[in-house]
Amino acid sequence: MMSTYLKDYPDKDGFFGPYGGSYVPERLKAEMAKIAEAYCNIGRSFDFVSELRRIRRHFQGRPTPIHYCRNLSKALGGNIFLKREDLNHTGAHKINHCMGEVMLAKYMGKKKVIAETGAGQHGVAMATAAAYFGLPCDIYMGAVDVAKQHPNVVRMKILGANVIPVTAGQQTLKEAVDAAFEAYLQSPEDTLYCIGTVVGPHPFPMMVRDFQKVVGEEAREQYLEMMGELPDAVCACVGGGSNAIGIFCGFLDDPVKLYGVEPLGRGAKPGDNAASLTLGKPGILHGFKSYTLENPDGSAMPVYSVASGLDYQSVGPEHAWLKDQGRVDYVTADDKEAIEAFFRLSRTEGIIPALESSHAVAYAIRYVKEHPHGSILVNLSGRGDKDIDYVAERYGADHGVL
């Protein structure tokens, strides 16, 4: 049974304790309020909910299964289970909130959707959702990322999206977010800016969470049916935090340990990781308050992870709150552990995980080593097909497993 947590948080102004809120220019404030209102009316109407449920089943392929990692568990001692979000259409959990956001845009009568993308995963999911609903879609992407993520750029274009390279600053995700915000400011009446994770001003952290919580609801029921009890622990990687909050939502009221796994990259030195909750401090970036990685002068610090979907200077405000409340433990896995987990899962289970998800797998491996009879459910947020060329080039496709 869920308590009233999901109804109590965020409050009406979008706060999770001191975090979240809406720190945006006056003009956008009114727009954000309109989106919040539309979401509360349309997004919770019978027609919207039933259409979304039909889409999940017949277009996305939900419910996604839970897989018991028999070989890996046998080798390690504990029990590792995977919630297979990699089996969603487009290969990751992001389609869960993109279908919801674009459907809301459609119901609100918007003429176009706008989004930012880093590695291109959110861009591809958005382009897919926009094609499904027949809305034009502008994707802002740092010029460096456009060059690096060529296959995703091609996918977005094939799906009919307009990819706009951003040449300011470091030419990566942060600048893409700035440019998308800027474009949205020009015509907020006709467009909807669809944020890629549980960040940004209210109502986005709430909306994206609500669209992702299907993962946790399904997983809890499936796990109970499989095992007759709940897992000891649940873990998920944390970039902005959407796949993590999605699965955590199913277990917040249960005696289940929750672990969010942040990317430690090359190490704890500034610029070498993107572990906002572990190494950052409270601050405001992109219209909301949360833990952020900042330089001493208050500017956003450069961030790094082998998994480009995890490198962001901040994190969803609800995670900041759950950390301060002590409900979720935020831990880290570095590049090396993630790469080892990537190969290990591929070879023992026949499942190639996304490098982002590999961080969660790495933590699960550590967990069962420390808890020999324990059980842990991992949110396998995405498949690794997008990462194979990079991994093969850097580590060799026949990289040895430790």
Ligand X SMILES: *Cc1c(COP(=O)(O)O)cnc(C)c1O
> Among residue numbers 213 through 242, which ones bind ligand X (CB under 6 A)?
237-242
> Among residue numbers 352 through 371, which ones bind ligand X (CB under 6 A)?
354, 356-357
Say how many residues touch ligand X, by CB under 6 A. 19
CB closer to ligand X, 107 vs 360? 360
Buried b (16+ CB within 10 A) or exposed e, 44-58: eeeebeeebeebbee
> Among residue numbers 121 through 140, which ones bind ligand X (CB under 6 A)?
121
Give the CB-nearest residue to ligand X.
382
Angle of CA points 298, 304, 309, to nearest 5°: 110
> Which of residues 73, 96, 197, 358 is near ligand X by CB under 6 A?
197
320 touches ligand X by CB under 6 A:
no
> Among residue numbers 239 through 278, which ones bind ligand X (CB under 6 A)?
239-244
Measured from the CB of residue 309, what is the shortest distance to ligand X in angstroms?
3
> Which among 40, 89, 93, 98 is annotated as catalytic?
93
Neighbour tally for 117: CB within 10 Å: 31
CB closer to ligand X, 107 vs 304? 304
Measured from the CB of residue 359, what is the shortest distance to ligand X in angstroms?
9
What HEC string does the chain produce? CCCCHHHHCCCCCCEECCEECCCCCHHHHHHHHHHHHHHHHCCCCHHHHHHHHHHHHHHHCCCCCEEECHHHHHHHCCEEEEEEHHHCHHHECHHHHHHHHHHHHHHCCCCEEEEEECCCHHHHHHHHHHHHHCCCEEEEEEHHHHHHCHHHHHHHHHCCCEEEEECCCCCCHHHHHHHHHHHHHHCCCCEEECCCCCCCCCCHHHHHHHHHHHHHHHHHHHHHHHHCCCCCEEEEECCCCHHHHHHHCCCCCCCCEEEEEEEEECCCCCCCCCCHHHHCEEEEECCEEEEECECCCCCECCCCCCCHHHCCCCCCHHHHHHHHCCCEEEEEEEHHHHHHHHHHHHHHHCCCECHHHHHHHHHHHHHHHHCCCCEEEEEECEECHHHHHHHHHHHCCCCCCC
Give CA torsion, residues 84, 126, 240, 116, to 10 deg: 150
Measured from the CB of residue 97, what is the shortest distance to ligand X in angstroms?
9
Contact pattern from residue 376 through residue 395 relative to ligand X, giving x for each residue in contact according to CB under 6 A and a dash for the rest: -----xx-------------
CB closer to ligand X, 142 vs 240? 240
Measured from the CB of residue 297, what is the shortest distance to ligand X in angstroms?
27
Measured from the CB of residue 77, what is the shortest distance to ligand X in angstroms?
27
Q: Is 69 a catalytic residue?
A: yes
For residues 289 and 19, is the Cβ–Cβ distance under 8 A?
A: yes
Measured from the CB of residue 75, what is the shortest distance to ligand X in angstroms?
25
d(CA 258, CA 227): 18
Which one of the spans 101-109, 267-275, 293-301, 351-359 is the region binding ligand X (CB under 6 A)? 351-359
> Among residue numbers 6 through 65, which ones bind ligand X (CB under 6 A)?
none
CB closer to ligand X, 242 vs 332? 242
Which one of the spans 28-36, 162-170, 297-305, 349-357 is the region binding ligand X (CB under 6 A)? 349-357
> Which among 40, 58, 67, 69 is annotated as catalytic?
69
Measured from the CB of residue 312, what is the shortest distance to ligand X in angstroms?
8
- Residue 84's beta-bridge partner residues? 380
Which one of the spans 13-21, 62-70, 183-191, 350-358 is the region binding ligand X (CB under 6 A)? 350-358
CB closer to ligand X, 171 vs 243? 243
**Any idea which residue has 């890996």 for tokens?**
72
Contact pattern from residue 56 through residue 95 relative to ligand X, giving x for each residue in contact according to CB under 6 A and a dash for the rest: ------------------------------------x-x-
CB closer to ligand X, 265 vs 309? 309
CB closer to ligand X, 200 vs 231? 200
> Among residue numbers 300 through 319, which ones bind ligand X (CB under 6 A)?
309-310
- Return residues touching ligand X (CB under 6 A): 92, 94, 121, 197, 237-244, 309-310, 354, 356-357, 381-382
Which sequence positions are flagged as catalytic?
A: 69, 93
